Amino acid sequence: AAKQAGRDNYRLYSTTLSGPTLERVRMENRLRTALANNEFLLVYQPKFSLNAQRMVGVEALIRWSQDGRLIPPCDFVPLLEDTGLIRQVGRWVASTALMQLKAWQALWPGLTMAINVSAVQLDEADLADFFAGELNRYGLAGALLEVELTEGALLRDPEQALAFVNGMRSKGIRLAVDDFGTGYSSLSHLKDFAPEVLKLDKSFVQPMASDTRSAKLVEGVIALAQGLAIEVVAEGVEDEKALALLAKMRCDTVQGFYLSEPVLASALSSTQGAARLSAVSGGA
> Which residues contact ligand C2E by CB under 6 A?
45, 61-62, 72-74, 77, 86, 90, 93, 116, 118, 148, 178-179, 202, 235-238, 256-257, 262
Select the span of 31-39, 70-78, 101-109, 179-187 touching Mg ion (CB under 5 A). Answer: 179-187
Residue 93 contacts which entry, ligand C2E, Mg ion, none (Cβ below 5-8 A, type-dependent): ligand C2E
The least CB distance from residue 153 to ligand C2E, in Å, is 9
Per CB under 5 A, the list member of 178, 197, 225, 255 interacting with Mg ion is 178
Q: Is 116 helix (H, G, I), strand (E, B) or coil?
A: strand
The least CB distance from residue 180 to Mg ion, in Å, is 8
Residue 256 contacts which entry, ligand C2E, Mg ion, none (Cβ below 5-8 A, type-dependent): ligand C2E
CB 119, CB 164: distance < 8 Å: no
What is the DSSP annotation of 185-215?
Answer: --HHHHHHH--SEEEE-HHHHGGGGT-HHHH
Select the span of 39-47, 78-86, 178-186, 237-245 touching Mg ion (CB under 5 A). Answer: 178-186
CB 124, CB 156: distance < 8 Å: no
Q: Sign (positive/negative) of CA torsion 124, 62, 234, 131? A: positive
Q: Sign (positive/negative) of CA torsion 203, 205, 209, 215? A: positive
Characterise 56 by phi-psi region: left (phi > 0), alpha (psi -120 to 50), beta (else): alpha
The least CB distance from residue 89 to ligand C2E, in Å, is 7
Residue 236 contacts which entry, Mg ion, ligand C2E, none (Cβ below 5-8 A, type-dependent): ligand C2E
Using alpha carbons only, how large is the chain's radius of gyration in Å?
A: 21
Q: Determine the distance from the C-alpha atom of residue 189 to the mean position of all C-alpha atoms in its chain, rounded to a whole number.
A: 19
Beta carbon nearer to Mg ion, 30 or 263: 263
Beta carbon nearer to ligand C2E, 19 or 73: 73
Considering only CA atoms, which of 195, 187, 188 is closest in space to residue 164? 195
DSSP-derived secondary structure letter, 263: B
The least CB distance from residue 69 to Mg ion, in Å, is 21
Task: Give yes or no for residue 252 binding Mg ion (CB under 5 A).
Answer: no
The least CB distance from residue 32 to ligand C2E, in Å, is 17
- Applying CB under 5 A, the residues found at the interface with Mg ion are 116, 148, 178-179
